[in-house]
């Protein structure tokens, strides 16, 4: 399995206030062990939502499959959608996932509009926007900033893990 696409990264773009960015330092290569007796979605010993679902929204099938596999390796159950509309249908008919990971550039409704609509359904839903765009060039509605993270493409598995952990820590702290 490929752990993610990698290429030399340029320096971190200027941070957007209130938006979580993953650190570029190495993160542990595997999630901490599940805490026995904890229901799915409750924090384990290190605050990891063991057994929770992550909704992966990506229109490119191969990238979506890779992301779903990476999410599964991190200890989550992936749910997949190829379009924003499919993701919204899923969100309306299921309990809130631990996280929604979405591409910013989707056909039809983009990832930012999807995040706004998803928050109307599940107000505390953490959202990780995966994008090749410069973060500073993306206009983020103020109401969306808490619980929103950015992950620049391409990224490695450890960067995805750190971004997910950062969003989960932010959610737990609220």
We report the CATH number of the domain holding residue 129 as 3.40.50.2300
Specify the pLDDT at position 10: 39
Print the domain residue range for 157: 53-173
| Under 8 Å between Cβ of 133 and 104 | yes
Residue 48 has a pLDDT of 55
Domain count of the fold of the chain: 1
Token pair for residue 71? 């999410």
Please give the Cα distance from 155 to 8 (Å, whole number).
10
Residue 42 lies in a domain: no
- The answer to whether position 43 is within a domain reads no
Pairing outcome for strands 148-152 and 53-57: unpaired
Q: What are phi and psi of 73, to 5 degrees?
A: -60, -30
Provide the pLDDT for residue 143: 81
**pLDDT score at 29:** 36
pTM: 0.72
3-state secondary structure of 117: helix
How high is the pLDDT of residue 85? 97
Q: What is the DSSP secondary structure assignment for residue 96, as one 8-state letter? A: P
Residue 51 has pLDDT above 80, yes or no: no
pLDDT higher than 70, residue 9: no
For residue 46, tell me if it sits in a domain.
no
Is the pLDDT higher at 132 or at 51? 132
């Amino acid at each position: 399995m490929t752990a993610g696409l990698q290429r030399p990264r340029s320096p971190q773009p200027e941070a957007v206030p209130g938006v979580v960015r993953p650190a570029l330092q190495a993160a542990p290569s595997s999630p901490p062990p599940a805490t026995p007796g904890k229901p799915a979605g409750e924090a384990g010993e290190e605050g990891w939502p063991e057994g929770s679902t992550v909704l992966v929204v990506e229109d490119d099938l191969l990238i979506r499959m890779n992301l779903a596999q990476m999410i599964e390796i991190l200890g989550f159950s992936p749910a997949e959608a190829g379009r924003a509309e499919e993701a919204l249908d899923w969100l309306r008919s299921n309990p809130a996932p631990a996280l929604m990971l979405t591409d910013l550039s989707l056909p039809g409704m983009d990832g930012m509009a999807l995040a706004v609509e998803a928050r109307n359904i599940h107000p505390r839903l953490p959202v990780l926007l995966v994008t090749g765009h410069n973060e500073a060039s993306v206009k983020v509605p103020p109401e969306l900033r808490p619980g929103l993270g950015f992950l620049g493409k391409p990224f490695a598995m450890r960067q995805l893990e750190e971004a997910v952990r950062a969003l989960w820590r932010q959610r737990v702290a609220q």
